[in-house]
Each structure stands twice: as C-alpha cells, then as structure tokens.
Amino acid sequence: MKKLITTCLLLMLVTISSAQQNDTDEAVVRKVADYIIEHTEFTFEGTQDGKIYKTTAEIPDNVEVKLKSTFGAWHYTNGVLNMAMINLSKFLNDEKYANFAAKHVAFGFDNYKFFQNRFKHDRPHHVYPFGQLWTMKELDDFGAMGASVIDVYQKVKRPDYKQYVENGAKRITEGQERLPDGTLARTFPHELTVWADDLYMSVPFLVRLGRFTGENKYYDDAIHQVLKFSEYLWDENEQIYWHCYYSDLKRNGVAHWGRCNGWVMLAQVHLLNILPKDYPQRDLIIKNLERQILGIAKYQGPDGLWHQILDRTDSYTETSCSAMFVYGIARAVNEGWIDKRYSSIAVRGWDGLKKEKIMPDGQVKDICVGTGIEDDMVFYYHRPARPNEKHGLGPVIDAGIEIIRLKNTNSKINNDL
C-alpha cells in the first residue's frame, strides 16, 4: 500500500510539472502576478487580538498593529514589485496590475502619518509600519520605492507623491554618504563600504529623476555610479562582481553573491531603458552590461539556473538572481544592445524557472531572503530561501515579459529551443 501511495504521489508531481511546462509564458506570468494580488491585503492587524483595521483612523490609541500583508509594506522590494506590475500592465494592456501598484503607494501615503506621530525611538525605523517612508535614512529606504512612486505618479498626480520624490532627490544628492570620488557608500558594516546592491537602490531612481525633472545631473550621476561601482567591484579574473568593497582596507569582500550581481545588471538595464539614445557615455554602459552578461553566462547551470554563490556549484540554485539575469539578457537582446545569438542564455534560464521554481498556482520558491555583508562564505551558503519572498517576485514578472517579447520577435528561438 505504501509503495502504491508513493507511486501515485510521484505521478501527481510529474503531471503537475508537465502542466506547468505546457502553460504559455503569458499564463505563467499572469499566475505569478495574480497570486500576489489575491494574497495582498492593504489592512492592519492587531498584534494581540488579530483584529483587522482597514485604515489607521480605526486603530485605538492603545492598540499596537502590524501590516496584515508583507505586500503592503514600504520596502525596496515593494518598489521592485510595483515597477514590474506596471510593466506587466502596459505589456498586457490590463489595468489591474498597474492598479495594484497605485493602491500600494496610496496605502502608504494615506496611513504613514499615524505611525510617524506615534513613532518611538526605541524601535528601529525599518521594522515600524512605513518607517522607511518618512526617514529616508538609507538608499534601501527610498531608492526603489522612489522609482516606483515616480512611475505611479505618471497616472496619479498627488502633490504628496511629488514632494516625496523631491525629498528623495535632495537626500540622494546632498545627504547620502559617498566616497571622495562620489561613489555611493554605506557606513556599515564598516565605514564607507560600497555595496553592489546599492547600484540598484540608486540608479533606477536617479535615471527616473533625470526624466522627471529634465535635469541631466541625475543622468550623469547614474552613469557615474555604474562606472565607479564596476571599478570597485568587478572581478577581472572571475568576470563577475564581488558583493562589496571596503574602502578602509582597499579590498573586496569574500563572496560573488548571486543576487548582488543581479542588482548590478538590473541597474544598468533601468538606466539604458530611460537614458536618451544619444546621451554621452551611453555606449560605455552598453559595453559594461555586455561584459557582465558574457561573464555570468559562464556560471549558468545545466538546468538553466544560477547559484546563490555564482562560482560555488555546491550552493543552492537561487530564483531571484536567475530571474534578474533572464530579464537583463532578454531585455538587452530585445533592445538591440547585444547580439541576438545570446538569446538562448535567457530562454534556457526561463525554462529552468518554469520547471524548477514557479509552482502551478503562481507561487515562486527558493528566493533568498534579505542578505547583508559578512566576511565568511558560510553566511552566504546558509541564507534561507523561501517561497514568495518579495526579492524575487518582481524580477520573475519582468523576466517573463521580456521572454514573451523575445519569442514573439524571433520565431527561430521557438523552432530551435
């Protein structure tokens, strides 16, 4: 009997996997986005009694609450997701995805002052509801969210959205820590550390500011960041990026972390998406992106995916970096930044995501949680990977969009792969 049950379960798993592979790429992307919408509640929950409050106006003075859904939080991963949802809305001509992003931004702005007024300095701002909306302490707090607010503002022109963008512009230009040469840095884990992640936390916002304000200084700063980050973080021997650079030691950290390489690629793609075609040094960004694409291609596994630590095949295959690479490569081919012969790297990667990481109901698994910088490889090896982690959902949606475009414009891919 036990053997029969085991056999039946295996057959069910094979059937489910086959059904997922037979879904069109559009169906898969819709499932991911629809799962997010269906499991998002823009409400608050009492920490003691679990009572639901639709707005902060309903919350008694003595009641502590938390966000009912992590998809309602104000965090850079929400910005990544919002921008992807807006992209999907435009691509499919379906307003519900852009509406999700608009509702998310409105939820934050309509409710943050309640928590700001109640704020106690004995708790970290980043764990308090919407704490990152008003503090803007780190690039994590406002870079990606600021970029998404600019995108939402194209349709919802609220004055407080515009003020938020202007506050972010002032912070990144005048208040954010930088090396003497202007490279953006953090004060932790050591004084003036360059984090690869911060290229994404800054450049998508900066390039949108350039378009939003009409001021070239933001374009110039975005270009400067890409070139300087590459100078500090690129590993010429391995042809991939280090996670960090310690300015005090004048050396890099220990890991070629997968997702930080993904952030670097996405930052360059966002820059090229918006930067005027004839803008000075645009060609250098394209060359830099092509160099990275050819570098990470060497580390793609037989299943089409990439590893948590890119050059360590004994680390787990990780979804967010794989999706970022698929998106970046497919986008580069679609826009003519690199030769179309490299399409197969992206297509194989998408096939791996569909087969191994995207579940039939639209959930996405094996996404590494938020990751700081440590000086031992064990830390990176053992970072947990969880389903539906926001770090990977936006990139999966964007990857699917570009793969659909790629296949629609190049029928040879469909015939050969």
Q: Are residues 391 and 370 in the same domain?
A: yes
122 burial level (CB within 10 Å; 0-12, 13-18, 19+): exposed
Find the domain containing 259 and state its range.
Answer: 177-417
- Domain of 269, CATH number, reads 1.50.10.10
Q: Are residues 56 and 101 in the same domain?
A: yes
In a domain? residue 16: no
**How many domains is the chain built from?**
2
Give the end of a domain, one of 146, 171, 196. 171
Going through 206-276 in order, the beta strands assigned E by DSSP cover 234-235, 240-241, 244-246, 251-252
What is the three-class DSSP state of 92? Answer: helix
pLDDT tens, position by position, for the chain (417 residues)?
555 544 444 544 444 444 455 789 999 999 999 999 999 999 999 999 999 999 999 999 889 999 999 999 999 999 999 999 999 999 999 999 999 999 999 999 999 999 998 877 667 777 789 999 998 989 999 999 999 999 999 999 999 999 999 999 999 999 999 999 999 999 999 989 999 999 999 999 999 999 999 999 999 999 999 999 999 999 999 999 999 999 999 999 999 999 999 999 999 999 999 999 999 999 999 999 999 999 999 999 999 999 999 999 999 999 999 999 999 999 999 999 999 999 999 999 999 999 999 999 999 999 999 999 999 999 999 999 999 999 999 999 999 999 999 999 876 544 444
DSSP string for residues in 280-343: TTHHHHHHHHHHHHHHHHTT--TTS--BSBTT-TTSPB-HHHHHHHHHHHHHHHHTTSS-GGGH
Q: Are residues 212 and 304 in the same domain?
A: yes
Q: Are residues 353 and 404 in the same domain?
A: yes
In a domain? residue 8: no
Q: Are residues 403 and 302 in the same domain?
A: yes
Q: Are residues 247 and 278 in the same domain?
A: yes
The predicted pLDDT at position 3 comes to 56
Q: Are residues 153 and 278 in the same domain?
A: no
Q: Are residues 236 and 104 in the same domain?
A: no
Q: Are residues 304 and 417 in the same domain?
A: yes
Amino acid 247 reads: S
Token couple for 126: 């980043």
The predicted pLDDT at position 1 comes to 52
Give the end of a domain, one of 171, 200, 233. 171
Give the end of a domain, one of 171, 188, 203. 171
CB 353 within 8 A of CB 341: no
* Beta-bridge partner residues of 257: 309
